[in-house]
Chains A and B, each alone.
Chain A
């Protein structure tokens, strides 16, 4: 089903809660704003966040003649989304599954979803280096145009887990496009003093040590936090924010490297 997908971007992080889903959704929305046809696949089965972030809860997936039809954010069908959240009857339902069941679900997501032609497929993953990641990697091995973006926060305790994810990518042969540092500083809305709550610069120094491109740092911006649950692109709502600049740069980088035929 992935033959018609031009590029696959995996969003990874060893650590949870660093902003993988926020980066995935904003990246997909920014690509859509630039006129690309985008798919977003959420393989976090125990904690799917994408339907909520894009305001698509209560939508359901339909079975078409060629496979599952993803949920589309817009009527022009520029951004299609697939998540286990669409298959649960209540948003409070827990998916209490061991590895083998998760593996077969992800295989179905990769093989049975009818994405049609896509410029980009963004895959949002859960934290860790286990069943979900191994399955995605095994199934994407044949897809040559696949690369990974790593998300981290600046503090050591997150960096430590992301280093493990880098090892995972290297062992499994997934090219790493770069590292994004999220939640790097918080500007007090009263006195404008910038506090590095979770310290700062960790992502950049990790990128230097691991010899991986650094794709930018995203500040803690309550305006971006408020976009969660609305399904709108930061580049559209708050075009002058640092967040928008990072995502615009990222999309530029992606389109240029695609044009040059790199992965």
Chain B
């Protein structure tokens, strides 16, 4: 996607260059023939289709984390509810790009719904009047169905989601991703860069084994040129419901997200505490913000949302 194949020689002119396949450095490169034929410089037509399709989406935000199970999907659903809840005129879409383990239909409480096809594309499932969702979960016949696909098929699905879903006018499109730095992430960035990607929100938990992978994700963002809107630390403290004492279940032995953010010069958006009721709301697909509007998690979340909105509006103007 950078125009330089992974196996290219050091002085590769780039696949989109006029010299592709013809420069002296190209001699002996396994890609020489295909570059010389001009096939490599042809743009993927989907990029323009997606740009066109998403032209009415103001802010496109990726939710990333190198690590699994830190709360990407939970944070995505909370952000979705929080953004849509502030103002009925703000339209929010959520795209679940986790093909092998889609969690959004459950978290947003719309399991078992169907996606309808119309002349203008796939209609997403509406959670509320101004919050819509698209996920592969809606296309599976049974919750036991496994999506056993290699990369190219997953990429094709993501391409379809981006090019064929009829979101209508959106203020925010939140894209929930699986853990890692591989096909889904590369494809999402590749297809969205032209359409204008506002940036990425990176989710982590405080312990080193998670931060280790999240640092890799931050490096990924740097490599592919995606702006990091900020880092959210999830599961940071546990408040015992019985005695209200605070304890660190996943201790931040290496300083947690604050230390990582200052080391790598990325903004910290805030920390969300570990709340058993929040976990239960997620399982049942209820809106935690409405269930417990005064909890510490909601207060922290509102602050985070405020920062994200400000950061997004700062780029678009």
Chain A residues in contact with chain B, CB under 8 A?
14-18, 21, 45-47, 49, 52-53, 91-103, 126-131, 133-134, 153, 155-158, 160-161, 163-168, 171-172, 186, 188-191, 193, 195-199, 220, 222, 225-226, 228-229
Contacts and interface: CB of A to CB of B under 8 A. Distances in A.
Nearest to A226: B251
Given A49-B213, A226-B251, 13 more contacts: A16-B179, A94-B66, A94-B219, A94-B220, A128-B178, A130-B150, A156-B283, A164-B145, A164-B146, A168-B146, A198-B279, A199-B280, A229-B253
Contact of B150 (A131, A191, A195): A131
Contacts of A99: 150-152, 182-183
Given A46-B66, A99-B183, A157-B103, A130 B149 contact: yes
A160 B104 CA distance: 11
Contacts of A91: 212, 215
A225 B185 CA distance: 30
Interface residues of B, number: 64
Contact of B68 (A15, A92, A160): A15
Contacts of B67: 16-17, 47
Given A98-B151, A166-B144, A228-B207, A46 B179 contact: yes
Contacts of B6: 101
A168 B101 CA distance: 12
Nearest to A191: B243
Given A21-B209, A130-B151, A171-B148, A191 B240 contact: yes
A88 to B, nearest CB: 9
Name the residue among A46, A97, A168 with the largest chain B CB count within 10 angstroms. A46
A13 B208 CA distance: 21
B143 A98 contact: no
Interface in B74-90: none
Contact of B242 (A130, A193, A220): A193
A61 to B, nearest CB: 19
Interface string B97-126: 001110100110000000000000000000
Interface of B: 6, 66-70, 73, 99-101, 103, 106-107, 143-152, 154, 178-183, 185-186, 205, 207-210, 212-213, 215-217, 219-220, 223-224, 238, 240-243, 245, 247-251, 253, 274, 276, 279-280, 282-283
A206 to B, nearest CB: 11
B143 to A, nearest CB: 6
A164 B101 contact: yes
Contacts of B215: 91-92
Contact of B154 (A14, A130, A155, A196): A130
B101 A189 contact: no
19 contacts: A16-B101, A17-B179, A18-B68, A46-B66, A46-B181, A49-B213, A53-B209, A94-B216, A103-B150, A126-B179, A127-B100, A129-B146, A130-B149, A130-B183, A134-B150, A157-B107, A161-B101, A164-B146, A222-B251
Contacts of B243: 188, 190-191, 193
A130 B183 CA distance: 10
B245 A191 contact: yes
Contacts of B282: 155, 157
B247 A190 contact: yes
A220 B207 CA distance: 14
A158 B69 contact: yes
Contacts of B241: 193, 195
Contacts of B240: 188, 190-191, 193, 195
B208 A229 contact: yes
A47 B250 contact: no
Contacts of A157: 73, 103, 106-107, 282-283
B245 A156 contact: no
B312 to A, nearest CB: 25
Given A47-B66, A193-B243, A96 B151 contact: no
